[in-house]
Amino acid sequence: MTGLYDIEARTIDGKTRKLGEFSGKTLLVVNVASKCGFTPQYAGLEALYRKFADRGLIVLGFPCDQFGHQEPGSEAEIAAFCARDYGVTFPMFGKIEVNGEHAHPLYALLKKQAPGLLGTEAIKWNFTKFLVDRHGRVNKRFAPAETPEAIGAEVEALLAAA
């Protein structure tokens, strides 16, 4: 299986990035949506990013429209919304699928490394979070209802352990 750092993803502005650019960093990978009950978590994600970026945390946002059509906009609309409404400065990527036969390779890897409740791999909803260590291994998977504020101590502990 391909390692996390070998995977490529298209950014929200259409460029291709190899996740290897983030080698040595702690990652918080999140499937996001603009019209979801959890959308206000963008503020907490940005706060975590700003608080811990100098210690090596990178938040990666992956818009996904697989849950209740909650990310209907174009990538330009998503980028504008995130910047305008939440001041997002962390890296945002193009729309992807996280489940099914067209799931992005990143999510296939994350789900395999950190299955959800009762061992199921499927992502249940937007704002599922994966905390990835500096070596590209998933440390923990967090359910959508677990807010960025609630997981801050675990993020900080992983940063401290590096």
* Active-site residue list: 36
51/49 Cα distance (integer angstroms):
6
Residue whose structure tokens are 């675990």 = 154
Report how far residue 46's alpha carbon sits from residue 48's, in angstroms, rounded to the nearest whole number. 5
Nearest to 88 by CA among 79, 96, 98, 97: 79
The Cα 78–Cα 158 span in angstroms is: 30
Contact by Cβ (8 Å): 31, 127: yes
CA-to-CA dists, residue 22 to 26, 68, 94, 101, 103, angstroms: 8, 31, 17, 26, 21
Instruction: State the Cα–Cα distance between residues 88 and 43, nearest whole angstrom.
Output: 8
Query: Both tokens of residue 157?
Result: 């502990």
- For the four alpha carbons of 12, 42, 64 and 17, in that order, the dihedral sign comes to positive
